[in-house]
Chains A and B, each alone.
Chain A
């Protein structure tokens, strides 16, 4: 089987609203085990597992955890469930199918780092997930798995749900911190990093939903065993949100190293009506657009880093031969025009001009000079923007200029 179900092993098999059902299916075994360990041992296991963050950027999880463990009180843990990147739905499905695993992962990390307070920040569009997570928290408190004196081990961890109110950029760490403080989600200057100065300037660790859901498994199987899954540089499994023009759209869990082609054709059963693939966008609106001939590429952080983007979220959007790349690029760019927070000049002003240039080229009115302006502006936005939004929004443009240059030349006037 190409799928390897670790995080998704309970999906569809447990009642997401029942803590008893969760416990029956190995739930909270990891927490029980973790509480017998020394907090630093837990972080050691995370380090051995070599797990990298599942929110897209792929930052090694143990580095943040250790930084928070070494930080002074008060300190906070945040679960980033503001899944706004188009093409991604994995975090929603985890929340809706196995919500206790997220809580268990958070409590384990709280114990390991000494944090006493945490937040789960869920985008406002996910009303169902918000309801489920609220109930989950209450159930966990009632059964002693959360709140004061967890499992009678004299350790406290309180969780609060924060609801997003419609902003993509809040998925970025500092924007989320600002939003948790009740402000518009506009990022801050880095450094200092959140683990030094986060919520109310106190140390804060932010991980993605999927990252937290991995921790119980790391504790149960041990870091070394976990590291055997996947590839040496990208360990473990990855949830893949497969969408677009495939027959079987859906969420699949595969070990790192699986090829994109296998996901599309073996799991997704190929393109509907057996049309050919024009392009595939990886990661979401901020990810690269690659041509069909690159589909043998393995799903792997090292490969993704070539694209300078949040490809690591694991979204694969398949787009068939009927579509024009400029329509796809324009949807992406209009998305960023709408989602830029407006704080820094290149991002605020740049995306509008990118849209202007794309429209011009799409409508055969663009010149070679416009093509150069587009390339130049895309690079400036990527290199000078304040936060991850502007630093990654140009990935689809830059990759399209690399892999679909002929599409541009076909439209540009000479």
Chain B
């Protein structure tokens, strides 16, 4: 233990603790800006500087380790003046038109300026206005708001191994952009949106589609329905001020009803459907010598990644559409038939934890009539939060309502799609029982749970032991893809999720997502699973009914048309 004094208070801290950590453990607040939990310590913004006795210069508390006998002042006049000056400097090179920014009231720079009492700037603006990158359907980059903290690069380059964004130029002309200052395109960006989830300001945000949804809701000739992804039920509460990991499944339904949707459905239903199709595809590939290992296909960021970087292994990827798109296809075929509606009158909205889903929804492959997108609009968890706030809904106290029929019953297997390892576990629950024709004694495949980057397990299916693997983040996806490409992969089935922790850590989830927050959401999602009366997809009576009355059989002709797709290389 190290003994030191911070602001005249005697403090004990563990060896190698930073001053910032030691201060926070003792409820002494030091403001930060570039610092973000789980990411590298950058020490770039210099906002967290403190005064250390005997040292002429100020030191950043985020990077300075405590020493015995250290005397630290976190709020001396010199420190406060420096912080204020630095924030004024940053603001002088920032598009500070706050009310015209989607991050208004959700902006770390704004709160910091407010906290430091900055109500005027001694420095004139030096902002050199640059064009806004808004030519893709998913992410908008407004570098006039960028404060060069580098968090997005950390995410893109280190966590996701993509390196789309990097620092260009230097000094006052320094910018964070793709190579040559290009705009984002589907040639090189997976649209995972992790950059947007860590941006402290409004420099990278998802393309806001809420107006399109309001318009549809107010159009009396449209029948507007909505699907809610598994991960949203453990994160929307957080977006609306509740604790991370709050389970709000039926509050979400109630709020969506209040907003005016004609039908509120659960993507969990098509997650169950995915398990049936994908599970049968796996069995088919194993028994008939198909391409192995089979890799999951529900994550659109991963599909983009594979199409851009690993076209050689596209055959390994399951042909199943993602649960979002299976829902979209049914919503424009089975649903209107059942409800006696015209497909063209149906407007399908998705609430997703994900930004890449916006891209997936508008792909040409995702139009069963070859004209209209099956899913019309995708909103992130954050965008739905915005609509709920706009409507003035008291979310925490809203009376809970169950999902609508005909896709009413779902299982625990579908719920865990939201966490890394969940699709694998759900598939194993079904494949094991279908192939082995015996009931699982323990349905919890704990080996594939948890937040380790790459997880492995061995299962006995049809008398043979198969190895499976689960990866999250593209850095880990790259490792497994290299093996598959080189023919050295020891696995039969691989689950891949782009975002850290899986969909619960998606790029469209509430701001402030950290490892600790993701852990809480994961815990909550397994709780949802535990609470479900049915926990295996093939036991879902509504799924069984759907096959009986419409799809007829897994991998059948109708399934093939509605629920399966193909991929193509986008490698330069």
Contact = CB atoms under 8 A, between A and B. Distances in A.
Task: Find out whether A and B make contact in their complex, taking CB atoms under 8 A apart as touching.
Answer: yes
Interface of A: 167, 184, 186, 189, 191, 308, 337-346, 348-353, 356, 373, 376-377, 380, 382-386, 391
Contacts of B572: none
Given A352-B126, A377-B85, A383-B82, A184 B46 contact: no
Interface stretch (B37-45, B272-280, B498-506, B534-542): B37-45
Contact of A376 (B42, B85, B124, B171): B85
A179 to B, nearest CB: 13
Interface in B25-68: 41-47, 49, 56-58, 60, 63, 65
Interface of B: 41-47, 49, 56-58, 60, 63, 65, 78, 81-82, 85-86, 89-90, 92-93, 122-124, 126, 147-148, 167, 169-174
Contact of B148 (A342, A350, A356): A342
Contacts of B89: 345-346, 349-350, 353, 377
A348 B148 contact: yes
Contacts of B148: 342, 345, 348
A184 B148 CA distance: 15
A380 B46 CA distance: 10
Contacts of B63: 189
A184 B92 contact: no
Contacts of B172: 337, 340, 342, 348-349, 351-352
A344 B169 CA distance: 14
B171 A341 contact: yes
Contacts of A376: 81, 85
Contacts of B123: 353, 356, 373
Nearest to B173: A342
B54 to A, nearest CB: 14
Contacts of B42: 189
A191 B148 CA distance: 23
A342 B170 contact: yes
Contacts of A191: 65
Nearest to B45: A345
Given A339-B171, A343-B44, A348-B172, A380 B92 contact: no
A275 B270 CA distance: 88
A345 B92 contact: no
A385 B65 CA distance: 18
Nearest to A188: B43
A356 B172 CA distance: 13
5 contacts: A342-B173, A345-B86, A356-B123, A384-B82, A386-B46
B82 A184 contact: no
B71 to A, nearest CB: 17
Given A353-B92, A380-B85, A348 B171 contact: yes
Contacts of A348: 148, 171-172, 174
Contacts of B58: 383-384
Given A383-B58, A384-B82, A345 B171 contact: no
A385 B58 CA distance: 9
A339 B93 CA distance: 18
A342 B56 CA distance: 23
